Amino acid sequence: MTSLERFTIAIFMTACAGQGEVRTEPVPTSPSAATSAASAVHVARAGPWEEAAHGDALAAARLAELHPAPDLLAVARGDAERAPAALLAIGEARDAELVLGSLAEMARTGVRRRAALESIHRAVHRGPRDTEPLDPSSLARCIRALDALSRDAKVARADRAIAVSALRRLARAGLLDEARITTALDP
């Protein structure tokens, strides 16, 4: 097997293994050129932060497994580049309840509102927990902030709808009275 054939097989196997984006120069026609062309191949491997920032739910779940929700919230507040990934991961975190109040307050003030609301929405819609709430005061702050946001006519209708949906899920979990939730967005 020539070095060119080995080079071609290596490129093919790397691309099939899902190792990232493969960029190459034109395929060399001589074996000696194959050696120099091998150094021109770049395999870009994005980590879970980059993948989650582009909406990859599996990467967000990996981040949620690797980092507790309070740490992800600190990243969302302090690192503009990684904030979208951190907010996506919080929605998948088992301990997301610990930061729901802070996320809702972030959304209420307009800081990364849509991403924060979507993170809350994912966290509360994952299904019922088999345990007591991790942080009842955080949930109470979340409910107050979502309620205020859902009633604020200056907030985009789509954002208010996400807040109402999250509140209704929390009501179904028995954390608030559904009669308290605004119906202004109902058809």
Helix (H) or strand (E) holding 106: helix 100-109
Backbone angles phi, psi at 23, to 5 degrees: -120, 130
Mean pLDDT, rounded, of the chain = 81
What's the whole-model pTM score? Answer: 0.72
CA gap 133, 143 in Å, rounded: 14
How far is it, in rounded angstroms, from Cα 161 to Cα 75?
Answer: 26
The model's pLDDT over 145-160, given as tens digits with 9 standing for 90+, comes to: 999 999 999 999 999 9
Where in the chain are the domains?
Answer: 3-44, 48-94, 96-187
pLDDT, one tens digit per residue, over 49-69 is 999 999 899 999 999 999 999
Q: Is residue 82 within 8 Å of residue 131, measured between CB atoms?
A: no
Q: What is the pLDDT of residues 12-39, one digit of tens each?
A: 444 444 444 444 444 444 444 444 433 3
Residue 7 pLDDT > 60: no
pLDDT of residue 4: 56
Is residue 23 within a helix (H) or strand (E), and if so which, with residue range? strand 21-23
Whether the predicted pLDDT of 6 surpasses 60: no
